Each structure stands twice: as structure tokens, then as C-alpha cells.
Amino acid sequence: MACATSDMSEAALQNASEPVVSIRGLHKKFLHMGRDLAVLNGIDLDIQAGEVLAIVGKSGAGKSTLLHCIGTLDVPSAGTIRLVGQELTGLASAKLAEIRNRTIGFVFQFHHLLPEFNALENVMMPGLIQGRKRSELVERARTLLEEVGLSDRATHRPGELSGGEQQRVALARALVLEPKLILADEPTGNLDTQTSEAIHELFFNSSRRHGTTIIVVTHNVAFAESMPRMVTMQDGRILRDDVRSRGV
């Protein structure tokens, strides 16, 4: 089979009119104590290039499950997800991993930095895994650490950084391969208010500088309401989709 049937084409990547994420009829069920537990119940959602939006809702609303399905970390029970023009449904796990590595950057509540490597090396890691040259990654990683205000902490290991600094490194790592999409799951859940606000501003700055689409799952209402778009979920469905403006 020709690779064009499974690979994300350059034309699709450049087509600004195509939503970065397009979801139709998305359902997700889990088997729990011998019974099906419905977590997502028919989600329809389009997210355009360069949008910054928050997904909010009470615990159990399905926010993180939706994010994981978009990020190819979880497989829907029914429905379709298109990511920058590529239909994900039915793709093999190896192909999903390839798309994930090339197209998506992740920032989680727990930063998952590798403790034996310094900040610069942690930022470079996705590129090293992809097989890129170390020499080209060093320059890119240094630039990103400067953007997040950590140029003087490049040689420090995670244990020598504060929680906020570690999350800044995680954001720089998410950007190193210039992804079309960043998915963030409670990225400031463990941080104090002042540090959280600084991280929030970095998300907006990153979108402005790089044109990256950013989706953030958060319980921080003030942060969510500061975003151009806020999607509220309840019982596995979209309750409201409030669009204030396009872009940041």
C-alpha cells in the first residue's frame, strides 16, 4: 500500500482551512467491574489552527479522556478524529505513535522530566528519540529555554529546579519538534497561583510566537475564562462552547 494512504501529507499540513482537530460522534467506554462505563457520549468538535482553548468541567466529565483520544494515547470506542487532515480511526499503534511524535507536544500536571538528564537534554529528548542530529537540537533547545526564561538553568537537572521551572522545561520540550498541536492536562495543578499565572502566560506567548494550537484541560476557572475559547463538558458531552475571539 502506498504510504500516501497512511502518512499525513504535506498538503494537509499546509491547508489552513482544515481544522487541526475535527471530531465527530466520539464515544469512549471502559469496562468497569464487568459493566460498560460510558465516559464520552457523542462529542462533535472542530479546533482551528492557532486556537488556544480550555476544556473545563467537573471531575468525571470526560475532559482528560477526550484529550487522550485527541492525543492518540487512547482509542475511541466509536466516532472519528481527524488530526491536521489525517483520519486516525483504524490506524495501527505504531503509526499512531509516529503521528503523535511528529505532530503533538504534551504537557502534563506531572512534568515527567528524566531526572538523570539536565534541562537542555530533557528539552532535546523528543528529537533524539526521533533520530535527529544532536547538533541541530542543541540550538533549538537553547532558544526554547531562553523563551521560557531558563537560559541560565540549562545545565541543571530536574531535582535542582523548582516546580514552576520544571514545568517550563516541560513546555519547552513539548515545543522542540515544532508540533502543530500542544495538549496540556492540568499543567499548573501542582503550582502556586503566581507560578501558575506565569505558566499560563507562556502558553499564550508560545501560541503567538509559533502559531501552535493549544488545548488545555484545567480546573482553574480564571485561566479558562482568560482564553479565547472555553469548552465546558458534563457527563461526557459538550455542555457549552464559548468563543470569545479567534487567536490570542
Kindly calculate the radius of gyration of the chain based on its CA atoms and give it in whole angstroms: 18
What pLDDT was estimated at residue 7?
Answer: 43
- CATH number at 38 reads 3.40.50.300
In this prediction, residue 119 has a pLDDT band, given cuts at 50, 70 and 90, of very high
Q: How far, CA to CA in Å, does 40 sit from each of 2, 29, 79, 244?
A: 34, 7, 10, 25
Please indicate, yes or no, if residue 69 is contained in any of the structural domains. yes
What pLDDT was estimated at residue 5?
Answer: 36
pLDDT tens profile 6-57: 344 443 344 457 889 999 999 999 877 778 888 999 999 999 998 999 999 9
Please indicate, yes or no, if residue 248 is contained in any of the structural domains. no
Asked if pLDDT for residue 96 goes beyond 50, the answer is yes
Asked if pLDDT for residue 1 goes beyond 80, the answer is no
Residue ranges making up the domain that contains 174 = 3-243
How many domains does the structure of the chain reveal? 1
pTM: 0.81
What pLDDT was estimated at residue 188?
Answer: 73
What pLDDT was estimated at residue 4?
Answer: 37
Please indicate, yes or no, if residue 144 is contained in any of the structural domains. yes
Please indicate, yes or no, if residue 103 is contained in any of the structural domains. yes
Please indicate, yes or no, if residue 39 is contained in any of the structural domains. yes
Least confident stretch, 1-5, 87-91, 111-115, 217-221 = 1-5
Please indicate, yes or no, if residue 90 is contained in any of the structural domains. yes
In this prediction, residue 190 has a pLDDT band, given cuts at 50, 70 and 90, of low
